Structure 1
């Protein structure tokens, strides 16, 4: 039986085309994430940054293709779900701001009955589909949180980096009374309905050599 690593794989054309609109002359490769059985289509750990002109850099900042990385908070939450599957086993789960789909894939591997990837970006949802197929799991897809059904668990990793996103913390509670949030960008946010439960160490993958402070992922749960 062939493993993912031993198969001859070609990057999905839709994802490559979307990537090249932002960052030309680079590729997507299958990479296995640390301390997990999960592999994802991600940008190579080394790509030719010296060839990035000002226009490319502007596009990266304005239209960041978040799905080309597995961000530290997503990796930490995926590792946590695989280590503590009781949080999602047998349950219907919504993964908000799915990006690459890493958290959703981990939830399904941990035994969730159903997992819904929710992301406003259609390319991210395409990446979730490709990465789900890569890992042999079945997910569902949604482009609007406000069309979601009630779920048993809502997971959100690395979605609070923008202050304007904080209102989601209240809105999440309209869909479930069991919300887990993981974030490395915001330190000890104050919200009357959430409490910090733990911290875990992880790096964005491929490693962006970010400041060490962004390697500490805080987990929060609603009260």
Structure 2
């Protein structure tokens, strides 16, 4: 669950995350916690103890609409991170770029699984701060990248979780395929990707952490793999 350590005892990196979060929720703060869907990793995430009760609808909507999405660990990120930890051979010794890194959970899992180099990529500087702070909390390091189209060369694996929520993002499937030999994609929003190059690996259940009480259908996560040869289903 969540640590009850006061915010004043947080390291400088967590205090910086508090400042980012308070731009959306004035009384918000982060605390260390282990998401239920990937309890092997310890993350600085939104601390619900600052609230008198569960997030109201308006507060939850503010989090979804504003950049503080990085302060929650979404279901697809948890499931993909846990899958990588169970299947380290998918990233071990490789250069991995995590697209839309958010809290950084997938990037951190890749680093823990033995990736040679892990790049956390996100347009939001606050998310990159979160990924760095969370990597430090797990004893690994990640490299920042604010622009996917100015990414370092030699990417072996692209990881991405919950990036297809907007139909306009669907072309990312082809972009990822063209950018790296292997793509590991987790999604809970799109039932049919419409791209046969992406092969279903497994389906798992998880909930956003802390829980935003989303529709149950968004708790069912599908993991896909796309590479030069069909990998077959792996559970």
1:110 equivalent among 108, 113, 136: 113
- Name structure 1 gaps, 5 residues minimum: none
Equivalent residues in 2 for 1:1-223, closer than 5 Å: 9-10=9-10, 12-34=14-36, 35-46=38-49, 47-48=51-52, 59-148=62-151, 149-222=153-226
CA contact (8 A) 2:120 2:144 kept: yes
- Summarize the Cα distance change of 1:222–1:18 in structure 2 as closer, same or farther, 3 Å threshold: same
- Name structure 2 gaps, 5 residues minimum: 228-235
CA contact (8 A) 2:100 2:121 kept: yes
- Summarize the Cα distance change of 1:209–1:100 in structure 2 as closer, same or farther, 3 Å threshold: same
- Summarize the Cα distance change of 1:89–1:21 in structure 2 as closer, same or farther, 3 Å threshold: same
Structure-1 separation of matches of 2:29 and 2:54: 16
TM-score of the two chains, using structure 1 as the length reference: 0.88
The Cα shift of 1:113 comes to 0.8
Q: How much is the aligned-residue C-alpha RMSD, in angstroms?
A: 2.4
Count of residue correspondences: 218
Structure-2 separation of matches of 1:87 and 1:57: 35
